Amino acid sequence: MTSSLKKPAALSAKEWEALNTFYAAIDQHDFRLLHDALAPDWADLPPEPGQAPGPEGVKPILKRLIDAFPDLQATMEEAIAEEHRAAIRVILSGTHLGSLLGIQPTGQRIVLSIHEFHEFVDGRIAVTRHMEGWMDLFAQLGSFPSNRPEPQIPA
């Protein structure tokens, strides 16, 4: 992970290390690092349907992303913090070489902005609330998931 960010003063050294380790796990495709960064019962909000808590729950999600973008990189671009909480803007980038949500590989290079809001307990990330720019990603790929439900328009 490439980042020139300095530790926000409100975060402890352990909390800052947990953030860097979490994004390094994504950037380096090394899921073992998740256990150092995340609390055993870490909550990922909103969770994917059927997603288990903790590091084990996020591994299948990250594996699907890395399968779709084998050169996936994560870069922390911005960090704002208060005691035991941090808001992080991360850029994910990679080349679409595998299927993603039914979208066949395009070979397209993508840049996805994500915003995550972390809460810490005992120096580890205990809760993450996240927002991704999925519509922008699908526009970059020139396609939308084929299995998405049709919107229901009220009568």
Closest CA to 31 of 72, 63, 71, 4: 63
Measure the CA–CA gap between 41 and 53, rounded to whole angstroms.
5
Q: Is the pLDDT of residue 154 over 90?
A: no
Q: Is the pLDDT of residue 4 over 80?
A: no
Measure the CA–CA gap between 136 and 79, rounded to whole angstroms.
22
Q: Is the pLDDT of residue 19 over 80?
A: yes
For 69-95, how does the pLDDT look when each residue is reduced to its tens digit (9 = 90+)? 999 999 999 999 999 999 999 999 999
**Axis-axis angle for helices 13-27, 54-68 (nearest 10):** 40
pTM strictly above 0.85 = yes
For 43-74, how does the pLDDT look when each residue is reduced to its tens digit (9 = 90+)? 999 999 999 999 999 999 999 999 999 999 99
How many angstroms separate the Cα of 131 from the Cα of each of 44, 103, 116, 134?
Answer: 11, 21, 6, 9
Amino acid at 58: V
Q: Is 36 exposed, middle or buried (0-12, 13-18, 19+ CB in 10 A)?
A: middle
Could you give the domains of the chain? Answer: 13-141 (3.10.450.50)
